[in-house]
Amino acid sequence: MERHGLRFNKGYGQNFLINEAVPKRIAAECGAEADEGILEIGPGIGTLTCELCRLYKKVVAVEIDTSLIPALQETTAEFDNLTILNADVLKVDLPSLIAKEFDGMKVTVCANLPYYITTPILMGLLESGCRFENITVMIQKEVALRLCAKPGDADYGAVTASVARYGQVSRLFTVSAGSFMPAPKVDSAVIRIKIDAVRRYTVKDERIMGRTIRGAFAQRRKTLVNSLASEFGELNKEAIAEVVIAAGLAPDVRGERLGIPQFAALADALTAALGK
Ligand code: SAM
């Protein structure tokens, strides 16, 4: 970085891996097969990228910071199975990118994510309509615990349920702050979301499902009926109470007790009540 006159850009969540064992392990355990394509987000100066290029057929790496690209090209020069894209992953048209670069291959996402946009990136990937095999990412440990929580756990929340709709989340290993430069103030963990080949719970209206999950957790201390009422202003509380009963749930249940099957039943009952 010194040779290229580079500085860490905190605004882009730049904490680069300096412990060689960590990118090796992330690449090896990301869940992909050797003939799969890999989408990497935020390659930085290529520590994880090189390991991915060694193990998998093709890698596409999307990096927002233009100033890093020459250093990244240098560290990855030996690989001819890498495409570097200088772009903001939140603005990329993922289905077009995947179709163009991977041409029918299976694709796994593997990344050490910029922590300031973990949730938008994860939800953007899951809701993109692209069928990824796995999404294996290093994130803040606290967020990893939340994503791995089960209904009823203190850490279970809207983001847990939103991600659980798409696959099975498992925590692979934790990484200490000393493995990065600069060292982040928080601990990190690598999680893998094994995406379900077939969606386990289909609903009539995906947007209502999203609103149902958000609404159920909007006011955690309130009952489900009261919490949903704040999201679904179109319906009065009596109508929402009927919906909750129609979905087979107790009227005084709390959102944090519900798993995906219950949210799906509730979303369909709300869709019917809204006359959609
Ligand atoms: N993969 C490298 C490593 O492990 O050492 C760097 C990881 S660093 C935590 C996150 C990387 O994501 C940085 O290189 C940063 O510039 C990049 N980044 C931040 N926001 C981004 C965005 N919206 N789109 C693409 N890359 C982004």
The number of the ligand 1 atom at minimal distance from the alpha carbon of 90 is 23
Indicate whether residue 42 lines ligand 1 (CB < 6 A): yes
pLDDT at 220: 78
Structure-block tokens of residue 146: 């939340």
Centre of ligand 1 to C-alpha 77, Å, is 19
Closest C-alpha among 43, 35, 171, 205 to residue 113: 43
Indicate whether residue 64 lines ligand 1 (CB < 6 A): yes
> What does DSSP say about strands 37-41 and 58-63: parallel, antiparallel, or unpaired?
parallel
The mean pLDDT of the chain is 95
Indicate whether residue 88 lines ligand 1 (CB < 6 A): yes
Centre of ligand 1 to C-alpha 132, Å, is 20
Distance CA 258, CA 150 (A): 9
Tens-place pLDDT, residues 74-112: 999 999 999 999 999 999 999 999 999 999 999 999 999
Pocket test for ligand 1, best of 8, 52, 60, 65 (most atoms within 8 A of CB): 65
Lowest mean pLDDT: which of 110-119, 131-140, 251-260? 251-260
Tens-place pLDDT, residues 208-229: 999 999 999 988 788 999 999 9
pLDDT at 44: 98
200 pLDDT more than 90: no
* Averaged pLDDT, 48-55: 98
Burial 58-83 (b: 16+ CB within 10 A, else e): bbbbbbbbeebbebbeeebeeeeebe
Distance CA 84, CA 73 (A): 8
Using 50, 70 and 90 to split pLDDT, how confident is the model at 20?
very high
* Averaged pLDDT, 261-265: 95
The DSSP output letter for 202 is -
What are the DSSP calls for 13-54, one per residue?
Answer: T--EE--THHHHHHHHTS---TT-EEEEE--TTSHHHHHHHH
